[in-house]
């Protein structure tokens, strides 16, 4: 068997969609499983929409996911160039070959004439496909069109007889009636190739053995097979993977939320979690295993276990999986991954000393079990680093303004100021003592302090929070909370 060679060929007209990332991942896993070659090719012949920024975003997203390509941009290889815009002479060469073989012809129809063909077909209940009127032009007709200044396209002369069989590695045998085809355009009037033509030339010349792509390309396959056969190229094996749908079972789009890999990266999803989750969109090793390392995915991946059915993108499941991966990080690794975020949020300066590093790690230690994404840390940790507390109005109203809250804070404040060794272990007895004195639940003592020092009624353990904040900052916040309560009480008296 020849060495497996697969490719991922995105168009740089936007960011890398999770559907494209899943396609890239399946190609990557298949290549690595078979010790083959993973090629990255940029299909940038849509000059009006292709941008360098989009190309950079795609490359960066691939790098973030760890989908390292063997050949392609920034790597090179024996079958380049790997940008379609740099391969135009190749498309021209093979289009001219098809012309000389009689398997292609120049078509001089204007857009208005093509629109009329479609309208007439629709009126007669026929498929609105090209009727082949330029298939057999005489030299006289051709010269007249040229004299009129018409610029021709080049159309492939399709075989309308019989059927085309697609032996798909996922969907089995799919048979297409050739009479459903028309003479499709392979070179546009501006000299640029169409997708169905360029992809065949590129895949053939790059020795691609397996074309793994979305099922939306299945309908293009018979056209492409006819080009392969006309040029005497070896037809690769095809595998059309299922589409990704949103929760409403429509095609995943921006209306469902984040859909680009870059967005998920910015929102604090770990690459390991993204790769793991994307792999499960349409593939399953067995029903008992959900968490896979990349090494395990490479070892276990096979096209035989890819489903024919659409996959539903479940954000809640991705968040759960991301939380699993966050909890599995060592504290040092979590610190290295999150430090750039803390800097970007303004929580820490660019230069972090050992004392501040220890504080950040303490914060991460108490929050690691509580967040689903790294971005969640911004809201969850802000009160550790900011001077002023941002109070949650509901928490203040429910807890701080509750009868008895001021008395609890007032009695605890001198105790906290008096604790000799200000640690979690020494803080806990202070709260139990207050509970016993007031004959109440421990939560009734803890919650006013929690809201006072964090601004919210949800946080890690209060002893950890107080220890990380430090005595001075924690006690000052309790004083500020008492002042807030007093101000409200005075206002009520005045209003009364």
Q: Mind telling me the catalytic residues? A: 254
**Cα(146)–Cα(427) distance, integer angstroms:** 91
**Looking at the DSSP assignment, which residues form a beta bridge with residue 106?**
154
User: Could you count the other beta carbons within 10 Å of the beta carbon of residue 387?
Assistant: 8
Contact 158, 98 (CB under 8 A): no
Taking the C-alpha atoms of 119, 120, 125 and 128 in order, what is their torsion angle to the nearest 10 degrees? -60
406 CB contacts (<8 Å, ≥6 apart)? 482, 485, 486, 489
**Cα(186)–Cα(156) distance, integer angstroms:** 6
129 CB contacts (<8 Å, ≥6 apart)? 121, 181, 182
Sign of torsion over alpha carbons 340, 346, 350, 353: negative
Structure tokens at 361: 């790690």
- SS3 letters for 262-312? HHHHHCCCCHHHHHHHHHCCCECCCCCCCCCCHHHHHHHCCHHHECCCCEE
User: How far apart are the two ends of the chain, measured CA to CA in Å?
Assistant: 90
Q: Which single residue is written with the structure tokens 């701080």?
A: 400
**Cα(250)–Cα(442) distance, integer angstroms:** 50
Total count of residues recorded for the chain: 496
* Helical ranges in 85-194 per DSSP H: 88-101, 111-123, 139-147
- Burial (0-12, 13-18, 19+ Cβ within 10 Å), 99: middle
Contact 44, 85 (CB under 8 A): yes
Contact 86, 55 (CB under 8 A): no
Structure tokens at 109: 């129809």
**Cα(322)–Cα(329) distance, integer angstroms:** 11
User: Could you count the other beta carbons within 10 Å of the beta carbon of residue 417?
Assistant: 13
Sign of torsion over alpha carbons 130, 133, 135, 139: negative
């Amino acid at each position: 068997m020849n060495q497996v060679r697969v490719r991922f060929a995105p168009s740089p007209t936007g960011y890398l969609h999770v559907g494209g990332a899943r396609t890239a991942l399946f190609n990557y896993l298949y290549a690595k499983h078979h010790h083959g070659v993973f090629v990255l090719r940029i299909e940038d012949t849509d000059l009006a929409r292709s941008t360098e920024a989009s190309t950079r975003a795609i490359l960066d997203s691939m790098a973030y996911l760890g989908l390292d390509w063997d050949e392609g941009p920034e790597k090179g290889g024996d079958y380049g160039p790997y940008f379609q815009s740099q391969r135009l002479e190749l498309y021209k060469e093979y289009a001219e070959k098809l012309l000389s073989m009689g398997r292609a012809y120049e078509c001089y129809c204007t857009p208005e004439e093509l629109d009329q063909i479609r309208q007439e077909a629709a009126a007669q209940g026929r498929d609105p496909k090209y009727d082949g009127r330029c298939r057999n032009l005489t030299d006289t007709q051709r010269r007249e069109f040229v004299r009129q200044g018409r610029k021709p396209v080049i159309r492939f002369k399709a075989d309308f007889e019989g059927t085309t069989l697609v032996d798909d590695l996922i969907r089995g045998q799919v048979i297409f009636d050739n009479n459903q085809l028309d003479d499709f355009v392979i070179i546009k009037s501006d000299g640029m190739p169409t997708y169905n033509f360029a992809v065949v030339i590129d895949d053939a010349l790059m020795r691609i053995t397996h074309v793994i792509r979305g099922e939306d390309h299945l309908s293009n396959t018979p056209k492409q097979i006819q080009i392969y056969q006309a040029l005497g190229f070896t037809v690769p094996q095809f595998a059309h993977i299922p589409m990704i749908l949103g929760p409403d079972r429509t095609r995943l789009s921006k209306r469902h939320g984040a859909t680009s890999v870059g967005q998920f990266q910015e929102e604090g999803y770990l690459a390991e979690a993204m790769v793991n989750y994307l792999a499960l969109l349409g593939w399953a090793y067995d029903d008992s295993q959900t968490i896979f390392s990349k090494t395990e995915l490479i070892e276990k991946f096979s096209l035989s276990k890819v489903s024919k059915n659409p996959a539903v993108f479940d954000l809640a499941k991705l968040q759960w999986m991301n939380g699993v991966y966050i909890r599995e990080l060592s504290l040092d690794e979590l610190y290295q991954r999150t430090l750039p975020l803390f800097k970007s949020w303004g929580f820490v300066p660019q230069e972090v000393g050992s004392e501040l590093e220890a504080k950040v790690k303490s914060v991460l230690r108490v929050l690691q079990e509580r967040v689903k994404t790294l971005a969640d840390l911004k809201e969850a940790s802000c009160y550790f680093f900011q001077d002023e507390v941002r109070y949650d109005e509901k928490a203040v109203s429910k807890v701080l303004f509750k009868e008895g809250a001021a008395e609890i804070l007032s009695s605890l404040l001198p105790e906290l100021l008096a604790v000799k060794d200000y640690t979690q272990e020494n803080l806990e007895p202070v709260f139990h003592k207050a509970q016993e004195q007031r004959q109440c639940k421990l939560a009734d003592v803890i919650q006013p302090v929690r809201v006072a020092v964090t601004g919210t009624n949800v946080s890690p353990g209060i002893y950890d929070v107080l220890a990380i904040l430090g005595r001075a900052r924690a006690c000052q916040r309790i004083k500020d909370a008492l002042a807030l309560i007093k101000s409200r009480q005075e206002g009520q008296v005045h209003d009364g």
